A and B are shown apart, each in its own frame.
Chain A
Amino acid sequence: AIQLTQSPSSLSASVGDRVTITCRASQGISSALAWYQQKPGKAPKLLIYDASSLESGVPSRFSGSGSGTDFTLTISSLQPEDFATYYCQQFNSYPRTFGQGTKVEIK
């Protein structure tokens, strides 16, 4: 199975900060990567698919980039509602796998 390693595991940031989360795959996955946001007690929400395509209705401050083994999720200006845990997920091969998550906390 393809392993996805996210870094950092957690971070503290202030409203307005630019935040970058990295997801590294154990082998090349082309652009077959999605990003999700999960708030406590809620289901994950799709943000980005195909590594860089923004899901409909998701604010443009979220962006994704990368291909092969290295990917990033960037929040250009962190908003209060963005404090959550973020997960990457690969769909290049089965089984579908997720990263361990990155928790974004308020500084």
Chain B
Amino acid sequence: DADVTQTPRNRITKTGKRIMLECSQTKGHDRMYWYRQDPGLGLRLIYYSFDVKDINKGEISDGYSVSRQAQAKFSLSLESAIPNQTALYFCATSDRSSPNEKLFFGSGTQLSVL
């Protein structure tokens, strides 16, 4: 079983719909992240959480919200999806006690907004 699991793996939705992407981890890490990947733009940080109920904005948080109700779960919501939110989304975790911020990624969710 994967240590960082993202669901769904693929999602097609329509403009204006609310959707939620889920992430769960069995690594016991306290820190969790949501990234977005677009071709040629690399990985951009949307939101991150260092502990339960701790929420911090990343560089591209507009149009997104997150929830961290448990250490192992971090969900990303698009309140009203728009086409330019079509992208590959990754959840990642890291361990506060590790010497540096080594991230462990899930397999990604490919989101298409029509």
Q: Do A and B come from one complex?
A: no
